Amino acid sequence: METRILGKDLTVSAVGLGCMGFSHAYGAPTSEKEAIRLLRRAFDLGYTFFDTAEIYGTADDPHVNEELVGKALADVKQHVVIATKFGLRFDRDSGKVPLPLVPDSRPETIRRSVEGSLKRLGVDHIDLYFQHRMDPTVEPEEVAGVMADLIKEGKITHWGISEATEDYLRRANGVCPVTAVQNRYSMMARHYESLFPVLEELEIGFVAFSPMANGFLTGKYGKGQQFDPQTDYRAFMPQFTDEAVSENAALLKLLYDMAAEKKATPAQISLAWMLCKKNWIVPIPGTRKEERMAENAGAAGIVLSGDEVNALNEALDHMKMSAVFGGTAFSK
């Protein structure tokens, strides 16, 4: 697979693998044996960028995702970039589904988190360490100061911010240069495009999570789709309702038409659309199916011209769409 550079010097595969779904939010967790097999298969397919977090787990084992990634990539860790995250915990006492999130980026919390992640991943440093969400009680300069210290200590080499805003990003970057932001981005969720000029100015990469609107843009989901509300967050996502399938008919047609023209799939077009916009955008679709991994990797080889990207943008700008899941509620 082709590679891209995040920030000034972090080389990653053009498409990364979001690892969360193996153990969290998309149905019952995958068995350890199968998850490790699939993670290794992703490496064989050309993926060198793997994204996890300390909270991508279950109530019984909240850190399992990092452990899976660490085990699967143990003997190739010198050839991959692993991103993980700090600064969130689940409110498991609320009784709500999806579980509300509680931000915590106090320096002492970050220190505990980085040590735990290093151990679970089985590495001596973290390649890309993301603040999972901004903490309104901790100033960005303070978080960035801790990141600068961790870089000096050799515990991390690069850092980033997930769901970053311009003001927070500029303030943090002024203390310790940010390599990437990781924000929600897809044809159905484009609100962070306003941040693109800032990223170009500061030479910061963009890691796009949920690049296919939690799978909806694959075109594989129709009316009557059922998800387990206890384990699958899609049961509560507005884009998967029967009404949304009708509302998004024009969007799906747009994808299928372009896919036919390019001899590709709708999923590949939804990824190629952002890959061909900027050479510093790296999507991280998640999947637990080997054939989908290969399909997503293939999107890196699909070329859309500037005119084709602009035509898609124009169509999206004037297209009726349903609401789309935009994030998990924060616990007050």
Instruction: Show Cβ contacts of residue 306 under 8 Å, excluding neighbours closer than 6 positions.
Output: 276
Per-residue confidence band for 98, with pLDDT thresholds at 50, 70 and 90? low
Q: How many other CB atoms sit within 10 Å of the CB of residue 136?
A: 9
Catalytic residues: 56
Q: Is the pLDDT of residue 104 over 90?
A: yes
Which pLDDT value is given to residue 246?
Answer: 92
Which pLDDT value is given to residue 61?
Answer: 83
Pairing between β-strand 205-209 and β-strand 281-283 as defined by DSSP bridges:
parallel
Per-residue confidence band for 257, with pLDDT thresholds at 50, 70 and 90? very high
On the 0-12 / 13-18 / 19+ scale of CB atoms within 10 A, 300 is buried
Per-residue confidence band for 226, with pLDDT thresholds at 50, 70 and 90? confident
Which pLDDT value is given to residue 97?
Answer: 65
Per-residue confidence band for 222, with pLDDT thresholds at 50, 70 and 90? confident
pTM above 0.75, yes or no: yes
Q: Are 142 and 180 in contact (CB under 8 A)?
A: no
For 101, the enclosing helix (H) or strand (E) is strand 101-103
Sheet order of strands, 180-184 included = 17-18, 49-51, 81-86, 128-131, 159-162, 180-184, 205-209, 281-283
Q: Is the pLDDT of residue 331 over 80?
A: no
Q: Is the pLDDT of residue 52 over 90?
A: yes
Which pLDDT value is given to residue 281?
Answer: 98
For 180, the enclosing helix (H) or strand (E) is strand 180-184
Per-residue confidence band for 330, with pLDDT thresholds at 50, 70 and 90? very low
Per-residue confidence band for 25, with pLDDT thresholds at 50, 70 and 90? confident
Q: Is the pLDDT of residue 219 over 70?
A: yes
Asked if the bond preceding 177 is cis, omega within 30° of 0, the reply is no
What token pair was written down for 181?
A: 């932001």
* Residue range 54-63: mean pLDDT, rounded: 85
Dihedral sign (CA 107, 108, 111, 117): negative
Which pLDDT value is given to residue 329?
Answer: 42
